[in-house]
Structure 1
Amino acid sequence: MTQTLSAPTGTAVPPPARPRRVRRGRGGAVLGVVAWIVGIAFFFPVAWMVFTSLHSEQAAATNPPDLTAPLTTDGYREFFATNPWPYLINSATASVVSTALVVVLALFAGYALAIRPVRKWSDVLFFFLTTKMLPAVAGLLPVYLIAQHIGLLDNIWLMVILYTAMNLPIAVWMMHSFLAEVPVAILEAAALDGARLPTVMRRVILPIASPGIAATALICFIFAWNEMLFARVLTGVVAGTAPVFLTSFVTTQGLFLAKVCAAATAISIPVLVAGFAAQNKLVQGLSLGAVK
């Protein structure tokens, strides 16, 4: 039998202890300040590049820089006067086509590894990871010799193949983590309704995993657009990309800083536009699987 003990008459019963409130004011402020410092540190080089591109060569070459110098768009006029459009079109072709191929291949690979796992699927993921452990420069000479032998030097479709192969491992890893978050109950319900794989992919998996697909596509597009090592060696006049064209501004006459910054800013615009357009999907996709 349980007995209830009561306090003696006349003795004040202390009130129940309240849970302590976690004081997050000071800690949150410190984290906020640190986040702002890190954000400014990452954004400062980009802002400085844009600021320098709006100056003349004389003002850009001064040390320390003259912040009061008049602004001008001469660097951008000289950049577009050199006809960069073939290089920009080549970069857009290689980046868009390779990204589309990577997303399609990674989507089916992620489905096989996450939703309908094959045998030893962890070994398969590890194999994809090991392909990124080889330095890119180590495979440059064999790729060059193969491309020369089959006649694909200075060919944009060679860059499409290379960018697809280079971005596929990381895309498979990302798609695996995204598709692993798809509820199994929805897939089982679709299977009971008689839905086949194409219908399940189109009506169930794609709507749920669309943020992850957008994040994967954006990251692969950025990697393909910014790649310069293979493009510098394997392309020339016909299939040169935007980063290759950017190196042409470094001449024996010297470094024209304002013109280089203007060219770098103009070449970065497509990536910035794509990033801002898919910003919401990118945040949702990168946060999938973060909380278990």
Structure 2
Amino acid sequence: MSAATSASPAAKTNAAPSTAPNTAPKSVRRRNAGLGLIAWLVGILFVLPVLWMVLTSLHSEADAATNPPSLAAPLTLDGYREFFGAGGGPSPWFSLANSVTASVVSTVFVLLLALPAAYALSIRPVKKWTDVLFFFLSTKMLPVVAGLLPIYLFAKNSGMLDNIWLLVILYTSMNLPIAVWMMQSFLAEIPTALIEAAQIDGARLPVILTRVVAPIAMPGIAATSLICFIFSWNEMLFARVLTGVIAQTAPVFLTGFITSQGLFLAKVCAASLVISLPVLAAGFAAQDKLVQGLSLGAVK
């Protein structure tokens, strides 16, 4: 009996750990399944308006204006045909070209100015560099409407109204503060030993920036350039006030489909989808660099 009683606690202790590995993975799997379900629901919630816009763009104006909307309405491409000028309306290609020019050129200028500035604030920090960063960011705190009238008067007196290069200058100045702020955090992760080794080998600052700093910080540069491109592409207030016909951008062209007579939902949805495609394509092409750049320095 004593042997049996002495063996029973040992058997219990040996049996107890065998049940733990079987219960723990099940709870983890349930939790992961719950988180995955929540993620899918949130993703569907965000994608649903885009899908609704796509469906509305494929309906006729009469079907798109029904309340409640008709999901089983016949599909048509009339909205896209009217957007591209098939019905005798204006062509969108000139406005799309203006948006591409203003967004791409301003993004290039922002990178050319932000990279040396971020280098000075991170790898070779100046005195009170935190105050400098706060000053850069404080320029974004001014409401855009507050600076609209002075900029309009300046553009009118200098003869730059309805000029695409005025938008390039404005978009460069508007995106430069956030670009410097982002690039500073990215460049702060670069080991200074690499910079010192390049300086010992005789490399000067332009060579260091282009051949040492830029390749290492490429994910951060890609993320910064994509965000600046999106901000420039979507900007409409300055483009609506400062441009007319020659420098009209795609968002301004989009507002021309909204009329007081109504029946414009299908055309607006079709135009919105086409105008959003360049930004979606750029984000999809650089999604790995964007995620890597935005998460750079998050995990030590």
TM-score strictly above 0.5: yes
Q: 2:185 aligns with which of 177, 186, 190?
A: 177
Pairing 1:254–2:262 present: yes
Unaligned runs of 5+ in 1: 1-9
Residue number in structure 2 paired with 1:80? 84
Query: Which residues in structure 2 correspond to 1:209-224 (within 5 Å)?
Result: 209-224=217-232
Q: 1:71 aligns with which of 75, 78, 84?
A: 75
**What is the aligned-residue RMSD (CA, Å)?**
1.9
Query: Which residues in structure 2 correspond to 1:136-155 (within 5 Å)?
Result: 136-155=144-163
Deviation at 1:255, TM superposition (A): 4.3
Displaced runs of 4 or more, over 4 A: 10-15, 17-23
Q: Contact conserved, 2:65 with 2:263, CA < 8 A, in 1? A: no
Larger mean CA deviation between 34-43 and 205-214 belongs to 34-43
**3-state SS of 1:170 partner:** helix
Residue number in structure 2 paired with 1:230? 238
Distance in structure 2 (CA, Å) of the matches to 1:210 and 1:95: 20
Deviations 1:263-288 (CA, angstroms, capped at 9, x unpaired): 11111111111111111111111111
Q: Contact conserved, 2:223 with 2:289, CA < 8 A, in 1? A: yes
Q: 2:248 aligns with which of 219, 226, 240?
A: 240
Q: Contact conserved, 1:110 with 1:176, CA < 8 A, in 2? A: yes
Distance in structure 1 (CA, Å) of the matches to 2:126 and 2:243: 39
Pairing 1:206–2:214 present: yes
Look up the equivalent residue of 2:69 and give its one-letter code. P
Q: Contact conserved, 1:54 with 1:75, CA < 8 A, in 2? A: yes
Q: 2:134 aligns with which of 103, 116, 126?
A: 126
Deviation at 1:191, TM superposition (A): 2.2
Residue number in structure 1 paired with 2:285? 277
Residue number in structure 1 paired with 2:117? 109
Distance in structure 2 (CA, Å) of the matches to 1:113 and 1:26: 47
Deviation at 1:289, TM superposition (A): 1.3
Q: Contact conserved, 2:98 with 2:248, CA < 8 A, in 1? A: yes
Distance in structure 1 (CA, Å) of the matches to 2:274 and 2:295: 30
Look up the equivalent residue of 1:223 and give its one-letter code. F
Distance in structure 1 (CA, Å) of the matches to 2:283 and 2:43: 16
**3-state SS of 2:140 partner:** coil
Distance in structure 2 (CA, Å) of the matches to 1:273 and 1:116: 36
Residue number in structure 2 paired with 1:30? 34
Deviations 1:14-47 (CA, angstroms, capped at 9, x unpaired): 68x9899685323322222222222122211111
Residue number in structure 1 paired with 2:205? 197
Look up the equivalent residue of 1:241 and give its one-letter code. T
Deviation at 1:237, TM superposition (A): 1.0
Unaligned runs of 5+ in 2: 1-5
Look up the equivalent residue of 1:159 and give its one-letter code. L
Q: 2:61 aligns with which of 46, 51, 57?
A: 57
Look up the equivalent residue of 1:171 and give its one-letter code. A
Among the aligned pairs, what percent are the same residue? 71
Q: Which has the higher helix share?
A: 2
Look up the equivalent residue of 2:122 and give its one-letter code. A
Task: Tell me the number of residue pairs that the alignment of Structure 1 and Structure 2 aligns.
Answer: 282
**3-state SS of 2:70 partner:** coil
Residue number in structure 2 paired with 1:267? 275
Distance in structure 2 (CA, Å) of the matches to 1:47 and 1:205: 41
Distance in structure 1 (CA, Å) of the matches to 2:41 and 2:132: 40
Look up the equivalent residue of 1:232 and give its one-letter code. R
**3-state SS of 1:65 partner:** coil
Distance in structure 2 (CA, Å) of the matches to 1:31 and 1:165: 41
Residue number in structure 2 paired with 1:5? none
Look up the equivalent residue of 2:250 and give its one-letter code. A
Look up the equivalent residue of 2:48 and give its one-letter code. F
Distance in structure 2 (CA, Å) of the matches to 1:103 and 1:134: 23
Look up the equivalent residue of 1:214 and give its one-letter code. A
| TM-score for the superposition, normalised by structure 1 | 0.91
**3-state SS of 1:139 partner:** helix
Distance in structure 2 (CA, Å) of the matches to 1:133 and 1:242: 26
Q: Contact conserved, 2:110 with 2:175, CA < 8 A, in 1? A: yes
Q: Contact conserved, 1:249 with 1:255, CA < 8 A, in 2? A: no
Distance in structure 1 (CA, Å) of the matches to 2:39 and 2:113: 36
Look up the equivalent residue of 1:124 and give its one-letter code. V
